[in-house]
Chains A and B, each alone.
Chain A
Amino acid sequence: MDFSFSEEQTLLRNTIQSFVQDNYDFDRRREIIQSDEGMSKDNWKQLAELGLLGVPFSENDGGLEFGSVETMIVAEEFGKGLVVEPYIQTVVTCGGFLRRASEAQRQEHLPGLISGDEIWAFAYAEPQGRFNLADIKVSAAKNGDEYTLNGDKCVVSAAPWAHKLIVSARTSGDQSDKNGISLFIVDKSSDGISTRDYKTVDGSMASEVSFENVKLNSSSLIGEEGNAYPLIELVADETIAALCAEAIGAMSVLNETTVEYCKTRKQFGQPIGKFQVLQHRMVDMFMQYEQSVSMTYMVNLKLEEEDLERSKAASGAKVQICNAAKFIGQSAVQLHGGMGMTDELNVGHYFKRLSMIETQLGNADHHLKKYSLAS
């Protein structure tokens, strides 16, 4: 057992820290998220040049062949900077599927992803399914060497920027069967795809995506037909682990900012940080943060475990992160008083991002149930 970071990992952290420092001050970020594009293609290119888009991929595939701890470091530092570029969506989630895809698929798709030429998004959620990854109505009917995709996916994060989508679809079985789910690589420009793009509360973008008789070649199928669910769960857990890391990054900034503010803001002739009731609130924020760091390490170190153990770790971590995100986000606004309510301070922006992380891939209630079933 060991909780220290290697020299190489520290170096990686420094690289990302300077990227964030150079490209992501508050005003610059505001410009990026208010632009029509909603993200910075320059930043994306730069991430590619730094090799960061290749973190989890094997050297054979042109990647750095790093593990989950490195991904955690990247996500944590991005969380500190509230980076909106779709790293987790493209590299962790879609990359998670692709690095387990066939040799041919990897050769076809990974170079474009790693070079930054192509952004990817995972279309899984459907309006009726809430957080159940197996509740899928989008259908892929097989006909000879071809599939026909029909149905709607909702709130597909990063889809407005994406060139390629990975879509979960039903090839057989009933609406919420775990069997009969397949994964497809879909070119977003294919005929029959229509999207409605929009901004999200936390400064990112998403789309409603409709498929109407979209024709897919069978070479776009990832893995075996009908057996994709275990892989979806695995990649969802990996994504949760990265989201947790992003969250602790954001929490650490909120905590530091709040403590700093309470040291300087004076009311009743003294810094408000001298009031015990506020001190204890900040201590509780700090403890929630430390507990979240612990759970984030835990889940990232357990991603290689067998399914049940891994999924329990991911759910446990998500529960802790959801609770802490809510408490820290709300408290940071409260302790900043009216200023915390304004769009001008970064506090609200971190609060919004943390609030959205709560929901992504299932909220606390959802994961408490999963955790309990895995116990």
Chain B
Amino acid sequence: MDLDFNQEDLDFRNEVKDFIKEFYTQEMKDELARSKNGSASKDLHLKWQKSLYEKGWIAPNWPEEHGGPGFTTTQKYIFETEMAHAGAPRTIPFGLSMVAPVLMEFGTEEQKKKFLPDILSSKVWWCQGYSEPGSGSDLASLQCKAEDKGDHYLVNGTKIWTTLAQHADMIFCLVRTSKTEKPQEGISFLLIDMKSPGIDIRPLITLDQSPAPYQEVNQVFFEDVKVPKENLVGEENKGWTYAKYLLEFERGNSYSPSLYRGIKKLKDIAKDTSIGNDKYLINDIDFVSKLNQCEIEVQALEFVELRIFSALSAGQRVGPESSILKCRGTELQQKIQELSVEAIGYWSSPFVLDTFANINEPSIGPDYAMTITPSYLNGRKTTIYAGSNEIQRNIISKAVLGL
């Protein structure tokens, strides 16, 4: 057991830092700082992903044969940590971290050849078609139907909470191909071209009120959409297995680096916030003790993550323990957002509809205040999505505690 990095790791860290310095430009920083929900324009994301692609770092988790960089576990950790500390744009996960691992594991050679390179180069933007209006936590109850029509499927139904679907070229979808006793057994995993006739996207405006085209989520309607048979992943009616496989990836990422960054930003705000009498919020012991409490909990989470990393590098699989990361990570993120709203006091109240517009107009109150309340409101989603935290606790109680 030790916590030190060796010289190679340290060199790698410098390389990552240099990369960020070069490619994460001030312009990008300024744009991202105006985001209410963590996403910026499609251009920004594509530009950033292209530089990572050219460096060979776009897919740290991919095996080398498919174009992964072959990072060690420690390098992955360093990479993620540095990215988060710098507040670099996240890579859009739907292609890179979600559908790709599924294709690698269950796809045909042809599918791999057709889709993986374009995911890697960000030529094709993916989105995820899982939830439906009637199927949230109970995902297996989904109704979106794919009928066998010989050489193609005919898809009818509705998907909801489809993140950034407005930019997507492809959607991977869970669809019902059979009505079985157990709902899980009639589900298939389909890849659908978003330009197919019969697909309609409707933006959903969330609490933070990011206006289109900056909306985060959408509802996607399918009406008699033809999908070629070759776009079925794995076997028909085995989609649930692939979905579960994918969910592990969705939950397996680490939270603490970006949480630390959140705390650092919060501290900066507290240093900048006057509380009268020439004192600043950072001098207010009540506020600071909440902040410290938060930081300690982040550290506890960090060490859970490190333990999981270490298990991974020893070749063990991450099991349901990843649910702990999801619960604590999202709850701490919400807590930091909550404290940020508290910190800015009355400046939490002014509302700006389009934070990307009027970039030259002075903000009301300090610059950073504009997106704090929207981010807080937007952040409420994190304990709901990707298996609500209630569901995560069910998983832990069943799979870990054996209840």
A touches B in complex, CB < 8 A: yes
Residues in chain A within 8 A of chain B (CB atoms): 125, 127-132, 135, 154-155, 157, 175-176, 196, 198-202, 206, 208, 266-269, 272, 275, 277-278, 326, 330, 333-334, 337-338, 340-344, 348, 351-352, 355-356, 359, 363, 365, 368-369
A359 to B338, CA, bound (A): 12
Q: A268-B138, A341-B206, A343-B205 are in contact. Are A201 and B349 (CB under 8 A)?
A: yes
Query: Which residues from chain A contact B209 at a C-beta distance below 8 Å?
Result: 343
A372 to B351, CA, bound (A): 34
Structural contact, A351 and B345, CB atoms closer than 8 A: no
Give the 6 A-B residue pairs with the shortest CB-CB distance, closest first.
A267-B138, A135-B276, A155-B346, A343-B205, A132-B276, A128-B274
Residues in chain B within 8 A of chain A (CB atoms): 131, 134-138, 141, 160-161, 204-207, 209, 217, 273-277, 281, 284, 286-287, 334, 338, 341-342, 345-353, 364-365, 373-374, 376-377, 380-381, 383-385, 388, 390, 393
Structural contact, A130 and B275, CB atoms closer than 8 A: yes
A351 to B209, CA, bound (A): 14
A272 to B138, CA, bound (A): 10
Q: A201-B349, A342-B205, A343-B205 are in contact. Are A176 and B286 (CB under 8 A)?
A: no
| CB proximity of B252 to chain A, nearest CB, Å | 22
A327 to B210, CA, bound (A): 25
Query: Which residues from chain B contact A154 at a C-beta distance below 8 Å?
Result: 346-347, 365
Structural contact, A348 and B377, CB atoms closer than 8 A: yes
Q: A200-B349, A356-B348, A368-B286 are in contact. Are A129 and B274 (CB under 8 A)?
A: yes
Structural contact, B384 and A176, CB atoms closer than 8 A: no
Q: A127-B274, A267-B141 are in contact. Are A337 and B346 (CB under 8 A)?
A: no
Q: A130-B276, A176-B277, A343-B205 are in contact. Are A338 and B380 (CB under 8 A)?
A: no
A197 to B215, CA, bound (A): 25
Q: Other CB < 8 Å A-B pairs besides A201-B350, A201-B377, A334-B380, 19 of them? A: A129-B276, A131-B345, A154-B347, A155-B365, A198-B351, A198-B352, A198-B364, A200-B351, A206-B349, A267-B137, A268-B141, A272-B137, A337-B136, A340-B380, A342-B207, A344-B204, A344-B205, A351-B377, A355-B348
Tell me what chain A mostly uses at the interface: helix, strand, loop, or mixed: mixed
Structural contact, A338 and B384, CB atoms closer than 8 A: yes
Structural contact, B364 and A176, CB atoms closer than 8 A: no
Say which residue of A130, A269, A359 sits within 8 Å of B273 (CB atoms): A130
Structural contact, A155 and B276, CB atoms closer than 8 A: no
Query: Which residues from chain B contact A351 at a C-beta distance below 8 Å?
Result: 207, 377
Query: Which residues from chain B contact A278 at a C-beta distance below 8 Å?
Result: 390
Q: A130-B276, A176-B276 are in contact. Are A201 and B205 (CB under 8 A)?
A: no
Query: Which residues from chain A contact B364 at a C-beta distance below 8 Å?
Result: 196, 198, 208
| CB proximity of B147 to chain A, nearest CB, Å | 25
Structural contact, B273 and A330, CB atoms closer than 8 A: no
Query: Which residues from chain B contact A202 at a C-beta distance below 8 Å?
Result: 349
Query: Which residues from chain A contact B388 at a C-beta distance below 8 Å?
Result: 334, 337
Structural contact, A359 and B206, CB atoms closer than 8 A: no
Structural contact, A201 and B351, CB atoms closer than 8 A: yes
Structural contact, B345 and A199, CB atoms closer than 8 A: no
Query: Which residues from chain A contact B377 at a C-beta distance below 8 Å?
Result: 201, 348, 351-352
Structural contact, B345 and A342, CB atoms closer than 8 A: no
Q: A198-B364, A277-B390 are in contact. Are A155 and B350 (CB under 8 A)?
A: yes
Interchain Cβ contacts under 8 Å between A and B, 22 examples: A130-B274, A130-B276, A130-B345, A131-B345, A132-B277, A135-B277, A155-B349, A157-B349, A175-B277, A201-B349, A201-B374, A267-B141, A326-B338, A334-B388, A337-B384, A341-B207, A341-B217, A343-B206, A355-B348, A356-B348, A359-B341, A369-B286
Query: Which residues from chain B contact A176 at a C-beta distance below 8 Å?
Result: 276-277
Q: A128-B276, A359-B345, A359-B348 are in contact. Are A338 and B385 (CB under 8 A)?
A: yes
Q: A130-B273, A341-B206, A369-B286 are in contact. Are A277 and B161 (CB under 8 A)?
A: no
Q: Closest chain B residue to A154 by CB distance?
A: B346
A125 to B373, CA, bound (A): 19
Q: Closest chain B residue to A198 by CB distance?
A: B350
